[in-house]
Structure formats: C-alpha cells, structure tokens
Amino acid sequence: MAPLHPPSVSLLDKYQGHDVQPLYSTTVTVTGGDAGHGRASGVARSDDGNLELDLRMPQALGGPGGGTNPEQLFAAGYAACFHGALVLLAARAGIAVEHTSVSVTVEFGRDPMDGLFVLTAHVRVQMPGVERTTAEELVRNTERFCPYTKMTRKGIVNIVALASKGTRTV
C-alpha cells in the first residue's frame, strides 16, 4: 500500500467559472433492511463499495442503537472536511498544527418554526501549541473555505427526483 499524504495546497487555488466544476462525485444508496425503514434498519452502500454499514435508530429516539445513524455520518463528514481545510490553510501559511482536532456535534431536534425536525451543528476546534490569535484567524478562514460550513450557512443545490426505473405508475 502506498504511503498516505495530505492533498496539495494547490486545492486552495481559486476557480473562475460560471458553474460548479465537479471534482469528485459519489453515490450512497440506502435500503430499508429488516424493518423496511432506512433510518431504523437500513443499509448504506457506496457506489464504489468502500462504505457499507448498518443504520440503526439511536436509543435516544426510541431505537435499539447498535449501528450508526445519519447524524453521526453528517458529523463525521463535516469534521473531516473542516479538519482537512484547516490543515491545508495552515500549511499554506506555514503554521504547524500537529495534534489539531475538530469535533462536530450534530443535534436532531424539533423545529420551532414548523413543528417538524431540524439539525444543528456545533464545531469545536482544538489547536494545541498554536497561539490563540493565529488559531482564531485560521478557524475564521476555514469557515469561509470549508464546503460543509458554506453548505450549512448558505444552503446547497439540492435536487429531489423520483427515479422512473422500478417505479409503478398508479
């Protein structure tokens, strides 16, 4: 196996264009599992086979636990992306950020606006050994750069469509 390396800081180069320029795409499909319900007993599989895991409703929501859930997956993606963006920006600035950690807490709750559901995310960054004002500037710059943070603040292009294959017309 080849040694792992961080991505090039060239990812920080600005793109000039009118449309989103895709760099990577993945698809994860969830099926219902034993209960026929993706959140309660589903299986999530990525199109390349690198992700396959059981989904379970957490005990706090009345489920059995024993598997991961959408909130954990979102928190993991957000934390990984923010950490990666922070390290890239620090590398470009010549700042050593060893032992940096990013924790994201995602809460699933009731939305007071419509009475349904809402997610909140809380990001906590620890940068031991980095002077506080330098760390604050890096975190602020990462907030502007990280796609997950941009998505949670500005929204995301989101297209929901019913696939025609396998769908019965009534």
Boundary-marking domain end, from 42, 68, 94: 68
Boundary-marking domain end, from 16, 42, 68: 68
Q: pLDDT class for 1, splitting at 50, 70, 90?
A: confident
99 in the same domain as 63: no
We report the CATH number of the domain holding residue 53 as 2.20.25
102 in the same domain as 48: no
55 in the same domain as 125: no
Q: What is the pLDDT of residues 143-166, one digit of tens each?
A: 999 999 999 999 988 899 998 876
Instruction: With respect to residue 10, please indicate whether it lies within any of the assigned structural domains.
Output: no
- State whether residue 4 is helix, strand or coil: coil
Q: What is the pLDDT of residues 104-121, one digit of tens each?
A: 999 999 999 999 999 999
87 in the same domain as 51: no
123 in the same domain as 57: no
141 in the same domain as 94: yes
Per DSSP, 33 falls in state T
150 in the same domain as 80: yes
- State whether residue 69 is helix, strand or coil: coil
Which residue, 61, 2, 9, 57, is CA-closest to 33? 57
Q: Could you give the CA distance from residue 163 to residue 166 in angstroms, rounded to a whole number? A: 8
Q: What is the pLDDT of residues 118-134, one digit of tens each?
A: 999 999 999 999 999 99
Q: Count how many domains the chain has.
A: 2
Spell out where the chain has E strands.
28-31, 43-46, 52-54, 101-110, 117-126
Structural domain span for residue 47: 27-68
Instruction: With respect to residue 61, please indicate whether it lies within any of the assigned structural domains.
Output: yes
Instruction: With respect to residue 2, please indicate whether it lies within any of the assigned structural domains.
Output: no
We report the CATH number of the domain holding residue 75 as 3.30.300.20
